[in-house]
Amino acid sequence: METPGELLQEIEEGAPGKRFQRLYRKRQQSAHGGLKNGAFVIGGLVVIAIGVVTYPIPVIPSEIVILAGIALLAQGWSVGARALDAAELWVRRRFGWLIEKWKRLPKAAKIALWIVWIAAISGLSYGVYRAFK
């Protein structure tokens, strides 16, 4: 059984555009692969639902929760794995320059940008919540 850290390392080491398809195939070939895939699909859908439901709540990083749910879904469903790999290639083609700039930033700058991002999204979420209250 893989730990979350080992799984993240495997994802990072995988070739762009093939990471999730490789994980899906690996899981299919393992013992009880179909059962594991079903668990990932159900788990991914539940995590996505939690992210959607918590979206209007300030301070909860729902975007990250939704992305984690999509990543779980992609590990258990071949269509999801292909879609996520295609989305990665699309993002890399359009925002590769930004990814490279992000990698070169010092850790303190990355933390500061994350704090600003979370504050902005929380403020926007709170505004949407107040508008529909």
Residue type present at position 126 = Y
Tell me what the mean pLDDT of segment 52-62 comes to.
80
Please tell me the pTM assigned to this model: 0.63
Q: Rounded to the nearest 5 degrees, what angle is found at the Cα of 101, between the Cα atoms of 97 and 102?
A: 115
Q: Which pLDDT value is given to residue 1?
A: 53
Residue 104 has pLDDT above 90, yes or no: yes
Taking the C-alpha atoms of residue 129 and residue 133, their distance in angstroms, rounded to an integer, is: 6
Taking the alpha carbons of 103, 108, 113, 118 in that order, is the dihedral positive or negative? positive
Token digits of residue 23: 């994980």
pLDDT in tens, 64-90: 888 889 888 888 888 888 988 898 899
Residue 54 has pLDDT above 80, yes or no: yes
Q: Which pLDDT value is given to residue 50?
A: 93
- Phi and psi at residue 56, to the nearest 5°: -75, -5
Residues above pLDDT 70, as percent of the chain: 98
Q: Rounded to the nearest 5 degrees, what angle is found at the Cα of 73, between the Cα atoms of 76 and 12?
A: 90
- Phi and psi at residue 3, to the nearest 5°: -85, 160
